Chain A
């Protein structure tokens, strides 16, 4: 039995050995690319979520002017391609005297774009909270902001986790766009290997990298959802 297994496994290993060796050679630059991908991912998440909360609050404020301005902002940022926005910040802003390196340019475009999406998710979440919660808080003497901060927003978190997870997964893959402004992220590292060595296996490796990242993200959000569901 053992002998039989060895007879099968050994030649199989011989066949894929060159592939494994090749992958071990390209893995370092691909991991370096992944670091850039993750940097862009985390910077975007950390800044776009708070900005999204502020935009959502402005979107439901009692000041019509503020609502309209933010509505226009969301329309603009959701209505044009993210890649176009990246190009605009990187190639367009120098015309206005603002010249940025490609990484900060990518971060700014991503944060502004994702904040617009998050704003709409949070707005829907806030508005899904029962009117009775506002009344319950009001008769206890809470101000509007105390009500928002202590009663409404904490309940919103639980409800927006699934759509926020969706956005985060999209974001992992959207980071590949910055390849277009020459940023050395995962896809660019992959493409360099593919062009140089005339093989396609790096694409498969890149796919595995993206899958691992989105898997970890999904699991993390599952955990969060579980933690926030204790009261329901």
Chain B
């Protein structure tokens, strides 16, 4: 069973076709890095997987449970909302802009969802949150508000907040793109630790060094299609497609 299985996914915004038949399988414990030029549909793909966008065609199966499927006529249907929410609970997501709740402290940001959504007792939620904050190195910031943190700290809180829901899969949407260069390291380190713990991860990123070093597999997207995928050394050292080669030449 795959953790994520997306088949032939199409997505348009008005006249603009953003995904043109994407198929993607992710195995348990696998770290997949999605790279490609801006506007290639990487972020949209990630957003479709966690139902922030609704796909036009194709199917999405998370841990064997279909979220979107094609009926007999080939029309894509979603399962009922309640079921979607249940399925998406297995997924955690980290955004480029953090999306922390500014009116809540660091600790409150992390315990809010476990208490409200998963009905975890407050005491237990706080224990989990504090353990996670230690793990990302921010326990001394637990009573700070997000506005008092640096970008790198905010992103580490956001990762802790996602992990507090105990997801089986973590999606990262350009987690270091909004950070000052000297702050990306602390976030990448947390992600590297997660990868070493065999968390299943899909990472949309411009950090080629990180992709190369941490990912088990690289997917190169351009123009809404997967152009090429393979092991990091294959993609980086010996790309088959000219488009991959051109892209890598520009970013490396």
> Do A and B come together as binding partners?
yes
Interface residues, chain A, with chain B CB atoms under 8 Å away: 130, 132-133, 135-143, 146, 150-151, 154-155, 158, 230-232
Task: Identify the interface centre among A133, A139, A154: most chain B CB within 10 Å of its CB.
Answer: A139
Q: Which 7 A-B pairs have the closest CB atoms?
A: A136-B99, A140-B113, A141-B117, A132-B99, A139-B93, A231-B145, A231-B103
Contact for B50 among A139, A143, A150, CB less than 8 A: A139
Establish whether residues A151 and B52, one from each chain, have CB atoms under 8 Å apart when the complex forms.
no
Task: Identify the interface centre among A133, A136, A150, A232: most chain B CB within 10 Å of its CB.
Answer: A136
Q: Which of B60-68, B84-92, B183-191, B194-202 contacts A (4 or more CB under 8 A)?
A: B84-92
User: Can you list, as one digit per residue, whether each of B168-197 has a CB less than 8 Å from chain A (1) or not (0)?
Assistant: 000000000000000000000000000000
Mostly, the B contact residues are loop
Chain B residue at minimal CB-CB distance from A230: B145
A148→B89 CA distance, assembly (Å): 19
A163→B146 CA distance, assembly (Å): 26
- Cβ contacts A to B, 12 pairs, < 8 Å: A133-B99, A135-B99, A139-B88, A139-B91, A140-B165, A141-B88, A141-B113, A141-B165, A146-B116, A146-B117, A231-B146, A231-B147
A155→B104 CA distance, assembly (Å): 10
A141→B112 CA distance, assembly (Å): 11
Interface residues, chain B, with chain A CB atoms under 8 Å away: 50-52, 85, 88-89, 91-93, 95, 97-104, 112-113, 116-118, 145-147, 161-162, 165
Chain A residue at minimal CB-CB distance from B91: A139
A151→B117 CA distance, assembly (Å): 13
Q: A140-B165, A158-B103 are in contact. List 17 more A-B contacts (CB 8 A).
A: A130-B99, A132-B99, A135-B52, A137-B101, A138-B51, A139-B91, A139-B93, A141-B113, A141-B118, A142-B116, A150-B116, A151-B101, A155-B101, A155-B102, A155-B103, A231-B103, A231-B147
A229 → chain B closest CB, angstroms: 10
Task: Identify the interface centre among B112, B161, B162: most chain A CB within 10 Å of its CB.
Answer: B112
Establish whether residues A139 and B103, one from each chain, have CB atoms under 8 Å apart when the complex forms.
no
Establish whether residues B113 and A154, one from each chain, have CB atoms under 8 Å apart when the complex forms.
no
Establish whether residues B89 and A141, one from each chain, have CB atoms under 8 Å apart when the complex forms.
yes
Inter-chain contacts of B162 with A (CB < 8 A): 139-140
Chain A residue at minimal CB-CB distance from B114: A140
B153 → chain A closest CB, angstroms: 15
Establish whether residues B102 and A231, one from each chain, have CB atoms under 8 Å apart when the complex forms.
yes
Q: A135-B52, A146-B116, A231-B147 are in contact. Are A140 and B103 (CB under 8 A)?
A: no
A130→B116 CA distance, assembly (Å): 21
Inter-chain contacts of B98 with A (CB < 8 A): 136
B119 → chain A closest CB, angstroms: 11
